[in-house]
A and B are shown apart, each in its own frame.
Chain A
């Protein structure tokens, strides 16, 4: 029988380790009581943003998408609406991060990136809800309060990332 062997590179181990960290934070967050339905601090994104600075966009994207995939397996949510919502949020925030990481780093710190990614995350998710889950125009009535929450949590997460980076915030 032919055996298939995969070589595991250091980068694979790195991504796996960072993804584990992101999933742990995701699991931790799931134990927090939710103040409002649909509003979560998204602390796993602290890892994603930190990775973006230290290891570059490609690694951050891998960690983010693997986090959603492996996280949904842990929660038993694979291919449920929750999974697709998480995936949409992850994808739209990655697009926002990809664009925002082109902003000059001397003027825009991790806080800017975090806020923009958080807003893109919730906007993408709400768009998905509007188009697929609850296809009525009223869905967008939820946008202002959700955006407000995303700014607050984006700011908080961004400050934590800026603190963790400790001034060494040239982007990888």
Chain B
């Protein structure tokens, strides 16, 4: 055990420098994570029908009549969410605020969906 441990040497100061710098750069990139690819618009659909495309930089409630009843969508300072929904499971409401381009939230029972659009022009991703 002792011989095994004696072979392990402490890091040199250059190693510490590399380690701290790489952690720093990674942390800095990570802090910028939430801002990446911010959506600027959202498109609301009922079934296959596009209700409209709205700018996210406003404070606005939009009521959409779906197959079950009225869904209330709230746009507020660059983000959007389902505020009320007539569905029983409330999954759409539980998704909370969305702000990144490419994100999608939908209320399947009421057939209402929101797609977040960014400047880059795509509106969905598939892998």
Of the four ranges (under 10, 10 to 19, 20 to 34, 35 or more), the interface on chain B belongs to 20 to 34
Set A103, A137, A166: member contacting B14, Cβ < 8 A: A103
Q: Are B12 and A109 in contact (CB under 8 A)?
A: yes
Q: How far is the CA of A18 from the CA of B122 in the complex (A)?
A: 47
Looking across the interface, which residue of chain B has its beta carbon closest to that of A103? Answer: B14
Nearest Cβ distance between residue A14 and chain B, in whole angstroms? 24
Set A134, A137, A147: member contacting B29, Cβ < 8 A: A147
Max chain A Cβ within 10 angstroms of own Cβ: one of B13, B18, B33, B37: B18
Stretch of B19-27, B55-63, B80-88, B106-114 with 4 or more beta carbons under 8 angstroms from chain A: B19-27
Q: Which residues of A contact B7 (CB under 8 A)?
A: 163, 166-167
Looking across the interface, which residue of chain B has its beta carbon closest to that of A147? Answer: B26
Q: Are A151 and B11 in contact (CB under 8 A)?
A: no
Q: Are B12 and A151 in contact (CB under 8 A)?
A: no
Q: How far is the CA of A158 from the CA of B14 in the complex (A)?
A: 13
Set B14, B23, B37: member contacting A138, Cβ < 8 A: B37
Given A138-B37, A147-B29, A108 and B22 touching (CB < 8 A)? no
Looking across the interface, which residue of chain B has its beta carbon closest to that of A154? Answer: B22
Q: Are B30 and A144 in contact (CB under 8 A)?
A: yes
List the interface of chain B (C-beta within 8 A of A).
Answer: 7-9, 11-15, 17-19, 22-23, 25-26, 29-30, 33, 36-37, 101-102, 120, 122, 125, 127
* Listed A/B pairs (14) with beta-carbon separation below 8 Å: A103-B14, A107-B13, A108-B12, A108-B18, A109-B15, A112-B15, A112-B19, A119-B22, A138-B125, A141-B37, A145-B30, A148-B26, A151-B26, A167-B9
